[in-house]
Amino acid sequence: MKRQEKSGVNRRQVLLGAGAAALAAPFAGRSLFAQGNSSQKKYIFIICAAGGANILDSFLAQATGPAAFTNLVTVNGSPFKAAPVLQNSIQGAIPLGNGYAQATFLQKFAADTAVMTCEVSSVNHIIAAKRAISGDNAFGGRTLPEAIASTFGKSLPLANLMLAGGGYALHGDDVTVSDAYRGQFVADPLMFAFATHGYKGITGAVGPDEMRAARELRLQLESVSRFQQQYKGSRILDSYQRNRERIVESLEKGDTVTKLMLLDPAANNLSQYGFQVSGDIDLVRGKFPNLATDPYEARLALGFLAAKSGLSNAVTIAPSQAPQITAQGSPNSPIAFDWSHVDHRGAQNAMWSYILKGIDGLIDLLKATDVDGDPSQGKMWDRSMIYIATEFGRDKVSSGGSGHHLNNGVVLISPLLKGNKIYGGVDVNTGLTYGFDPATGAPDPNRKMKEKHIYGAIAHAMGLSFEGRLDYTAMVRKA
């Protein structure tokens, strides 16, 4: 098996990107933050199937064995199976699920969808989630969003946008990652835009000229203060001041506050405060109609807009743990996939539908959108990887509650992958998955794929190399 001999992305790509970055200048109609490195930009969207999403309840569903389904759906030409939409409820009282069929997803996206089996190394939610994004320290402790942000999102002001929590939001263990590529946590996606502008919308505040003068004065005052001298060399102080100088004005000049504004203008009197709703609000609302009330949809909308606007290229999104109860029921279960402890099949079925429906909308948007607003750069989807990350699988059961299980598989969706394929397989007698040969893609019942293999396959597909990474030739679609 061939291993990468040296660390580093393709050196030629880096140099080309650097040259372009040096020469290019932002121009009207395109993202202010394109920074000339559009040619190298790639996007990763990590959708956190939080709580333990079981692959046997989605595209590796089985017709026989301990976790057998009846009425499995097969989509033409696809090796995947789709579990039927179930009509479960929360404790017999609240209808559960949004009715979205897994088959719908496969009909639209099977060609770009790959399932990779795995057996992970922890069933602790926090630890397992961190390993899901760090590949169990496959790349020196650098998480996938950190790695992709720092490699393909250079100079982006908020390269690594974190719309998730728990273990998915933890920093990696690589101390060399600059805080410019650490996750920027978003508490409330509907309100996030406000934090991207220093003064807009503040009653009686000053304009850009006065702000510039005030900021300059602040710098002068700090430079002569005893405090600054006393704490010269303080990491927290240096970091704060570097961040302040690095992104404040760039976010303001790019009018990020408008691009990311998702609040309803009428209900919130936006115009009274000088704000406008995002020009893309109808676009995202078309795919995420409940974004005003459903945090998952709002996070998807904000994540897309941040990437579209050239702010971010690594976006991590998780659903809410709270059920979004309406008169029709709840589309998601309490505590997300972990409701499986109470109702395995109902939780898994509803949550897979919930997660996949959101991704369906996201892919549609990425397919319709030019990179940095520049048609010559192609569509965002052509450079995107969607990784449905989860902590672990569940017990291989068909009903009732279920516990955590190391054995599982993950779903990757990307044009960078050879899709419509299962990498690995399932022992129908036990429901346990097994691995494959990364070079040939051949299933291997004696092999287990670990977190580092998932990380490695994603890295390879995105063009990221590092010491110890295997080649996943069988999985990667050639450009």
Partner 1 sequence: MKLLGITLLIAIGLLGCNHKVKKHNVRSAGANEETDASANAKGGGGMNESSPAGLNLVWKRYRAFEGGLVQGLSLPKADVCKELGQYSCIDKIHLTVLGGNEPYQLGQYERPSAPTALTPLAVERVILAACGKRLELDKAAGGGALVFKFFPLAGASPSAAQLKAQAGELYKRFLAREAEGPELDAVAAFAGKIANPEKAAISLCLAIGSSAENIFL
Partner 2 sequence: MRRFLVGSLWLSLLGSSHALATSASTDIFCQKYPKALGCESKQASCAICHTAVPSLNAYGDDIKGALTGPIDATLIGALDKIEALDSDEDGASNITEIEHHSAPGNGSIKPEADAQLAYDPVIAMRRLRAIYCGNPASYEDLQKVKTAADPKAILHAELNKCLASPFWKGEALFRLADKKIQPLSAIGFGGNVVIADYRYDYRLFSYIMSDDHDVRELLSANYHIDESGARVEGVIARQEPAQVGQRIVIGGGQPLDPTRRAGMITTQWFLAFYTMFAPLPRNTASQTYREYLGMDIAKGEGLMPVANEPRDVDARNVKQADCAVCHSTLDPLSYAFSTYVGIETVQAFLFNSNGTYRATRQPWEAQGQLFGQPVTNLLDWATKARNSDPFKKNIANMFFKQALSRDPLPSEQGEFEALWKALPDDAYSANKLIHRLIETKAFGGKRS
Site for partner 2 in 302-321 (CB under 8 A): 321
| Paired tokens of 346 | 């109902």
Kindly state whether residue 264 participates in binding partner 1, applying the rule CB under 8 A: no
Residue 104 or residue 278: which is nearer to partner 1 going by CB?
278
By CB under 8 A, the residues from 353 to 412 that bind partner 2 are 401, 403
Q: Select from 1, 22, 25, 93 the one that contacts partner 2 (CB under 8 A).
A: 93
Kindly state whether residue 29 participates in binding partner 1, applying the rule CB under 8 A: no
Rounded CA separation 244/239 (Å): 8
CB of 415 to partner 1, least distance (A): 23
End-to-end CA distance of the chain: 22
CB 357 within 8 A of CB 86: no
Rounded CA separation 197/256 (Å): 7
User: How many residues of this chain interact with partner 1, rule: CB under 8 A?
Assistant: 126
By CB under 8 A, the residues from 72 to 91 that bind partner 2 are 90-91
Kindly state whether residue 185 participates in binding partner 1, applying the rule CB under 8 A: yes
CB of 73 to partner 1, least distance (A): 29
CB of 342 to partner 2, least distance (A): 7
Q: Binds 94, which of partner 2, partner 1, none (CB < 5 to 8 A, cut-off by type)?
A: partner 2
Q: Select from 17, 415, 435, 438 the one that contacts partner 1 (CB under 8 A).
A: 17
* Stretch of 19-27, 60-68, 92-100, 346-354 lying at the interface with partner 2 (CB under 8 A): 92-100
Sheet holding 160-163, edge to edge: 184-185, 160-163, 314-317, 43-48, 384-389, 407-413, 113-119, 421-423
Residue 31 or residue 184: which is nearer to partner 1 going by CB?
184
DSSP secondary structure letter of residue 463: T
Query: Residue 52 phi/psi, 5° resolution?
Result: 105, 85
276-297 burial by CB neighbour count: b if 16+ within 10 A, else e? ebbebbebbbebbeebeebbbb
Q: Binds 299, which of partner 2, partner 1, none (CB < 5 to 8 A, cut-off by type)?
A: none
By CB under 8 A, the residues from 89 to 128 that bind partner 1 are 120-127
CB 129 within 8 A of CB 48: yes
Kindly state whether residue 135 participates in binding partner 2, applying the rule CB under 8 A: no
Q: Binds 325, which of partner 2, partner 1, none (CB < 5 to 8 A, cut-off by type)?
A: partner 2
Match 């059920």 to its residue by tokens. Answer: 323
Query: Residue 366 phi/psi, 5° resolution?
Result: -65, -35
Residue 166 CB partners (closer than 8 Å, separation 6+): 50, 125, 126, 129, 318
* Stretch of 7-15, 135-143, 267-275, 422-430 lying at the interface with partner 2 (CB under 8 A): 135-143
Q: Binds 225, which of partner 2, partner 1, none (CB < 5 to 8 A, cut-off by type)?
A: partner 1
Q: Binds 429, which of partner 2, partner 1, none (CB < 5 to 8 A, cut-off by type)?
A: none
Residue type (1 letter), 64: T
CB 193 within 8 A of CB 262: yes
Kindly state whether residue 383 participates in binding partner 1, applying the rule CB under 8 A: no
**Dihedral in degrees, nearest 10, Cα atoms 309, 291, 314, 308:** -20
Kindly state whether residue 463 participates in binding partner 2, applying the rule CB under 8 A: no
DSSP secondary structure letter of residue 439: T
CB 390 within 8 A of CB 47: no
Kindly state whether residue 228 participates in binding partner 2, applying the rule CB under 8 A: no
By the criterion CB under 8 A, which residues form the site for partner 2? 90-94, 121-122, 124, 126-127, 136-137, 141, 173, 175, 230, 321-323, 325, 334-335, 341-342, 401, 403
